Amino acid sequence: MVYPEEPFWALPMVSGLYEDRDYRVNVVEALQEFWQMKQTRGVELKNGALVIYESIPSNSQPYVCFVTLPGGSCFGSFQNCPTKAEARRSSAKIALMNSVFNEHPSRRISDEFIEKAVQDARASFKGTPQNNELPESGIGAFRFMLEANKGRTMLEFQELMTVFQLLHWNGSLKAMRERQCSRQEVVAHYSNRSLDDEMRAQMALDWIAREQENPGVLRRELVLAERELETARMAGRELRFPKEKKDILMIAHNQLGGSNLGATSIEN
C-alpha cells in the first residue's frame, strides 16, 4: 500500500517566536495546552489529550527526544541538543508548529483532499489505473480509509494510517488477502484497534520467524529502519511509521538475544 509522505511544515512566524530570546515561550506547556484545548472544543481523541515524550537513553550529547501527539503523530528533536531538556523542547517545538498548521482547512480530510491524496498515491503506485480503482487494491483501501475519516485532520488520522503502513510493510495485508479477507473488512477491523504493545509483539513474532528462516534479514531491516528514522528526524518530518518499524524490529532483536544479528553492524 502506498501513502503520500507527510511533509515537514515549518511556520516562519511561529518558529521565529520560539527562537527569539525576548519572547521565550514554554513550548512543552504550550503543546499540551493546545491539545487540551482541542479536546475541550469537542475534538474526539481516542487516547485522550495527553502528549507523550520519550527520551532516548544516552550518556552524552547530542540528546534525542520523541513526542507522540494525540491522534498518533510523532515528531523528534531535529537539532543537536546538548541537554535532555533541550531535546524535549526541540521535539515540542516541531510538534507544536505542525499542530498549529494542522488547523488549516487544507489539512482537513475532505472530498478534494481525498482526490488529491489518492492521485499522489496512484502516481507512485506500480499498477494499472484500472486495478488501482478496485476496492481490494492498495489505492482502493487507502481511499476507503480516507472516506471513513472525512472531516478529521491528518494529525488526527495518523495512527490509523500508520497501522496500515505497518500491516503492509510487515506482510500482514498480503497474508489477509490470501485468506480471502477483503480490504474493507480489514480496514473495519483495524479502525477500532490501537497501535499498542500487543500489536507490536505480534509483528515482532513475524520478524523472528523470518530471521529463523533467513538469518541476517532482521539485522538488515533494522539497519535500514534506523537510517530512515534518523534521516526523517533531522529533516523535521513526521516519524510515527519509521519509529514503529524500528521499535518492532528491536523487540524481535531483543527476544532473539541479538546473538546472531551482528549488533556491531546495527549500531553502525
pLDDT tens over the chain, length 268 residues: 333 333 333 333 333 334 434 347 799 999 999 999 988 887 777 778 899 999 999 999 999 999 999 988 999 999 899 999 999 999 999 999 999 988 888 888 899 888 888 887 777 655 544 444 444 456 777 788 888 888 888 887 888 888 888 988 988 878 887 888 877 787 778 877 788 999 999 999 999 999 999 999 999 999 999 999 999 999 999 999 999 999 999 999 999 986 555 443 444 4
> Are 210 and 217 within 8 A, CB to CB?
yes
Phi/psi of residue 260, each to 5°? -110, 15
145 Cα distance to chain centroid? 16
CA distances from 212 to 167, 168, 205, 221, 224 (A): 20, 21, 11, 14, 19
Q: Output DSSP code: residue 108.
A: B
Nearest-CA neighbor of 98 among 119, 80, 117, 71? 71
